[in-house]
Amino acid sequence: MAAFVLGGKPVLNFPLSLEQEMCAAPIVERGAGLVVSGTEPNDIFRKMEMILGSDEYTAEAERIAERYRDWDLEASGTRLADHMESLIART
């Protein structure tokens, strides 16, 4: 999901668990995607038409991508591990 938004593409989310719903929520709140209901058969088509029929979802995904253009997943993981090690060293 993050790869799409960081690539400037809106996301049509199909959450199957609470964790996936929680990950999708900020994207939906920002207007860079939608969540499909698993209980309504036509929901996927309706939501897909909404995303494809509006430039606003793509525009917001592109704004998010630009904001995080220089973000580096590997470097973030390294910084997090270094920070955790420093916290452990204090105990």
pLDDT at 40: 81
| Residue 54: pLDDT band with limits 50, 70, 90 | very high
Number of domains into which the chain is organized: 1
What CATH number corresponds to the domain at position 26?
Answer: 3.40.50.2000
Pair 34, 51: CB distance under 8 Å: yes
- The residue-averaged pLDDT of 16-23 equals 94
- The residue-averaged pLDDT of 58-77 equals 90
- The residue-averaged pLDDT of 44-59 equals 95
Tell me how crowded residue 10 is: count the other CB atoms within 10 A of its CB: 24
Per-residue CA distances from 21 to 15, 29, 38, 66, 77 (Å): 5, 12, 12, 24, 23
Q: Which domain holds residue 55?
A: 2-90
For 63, the token pair is 């704004």
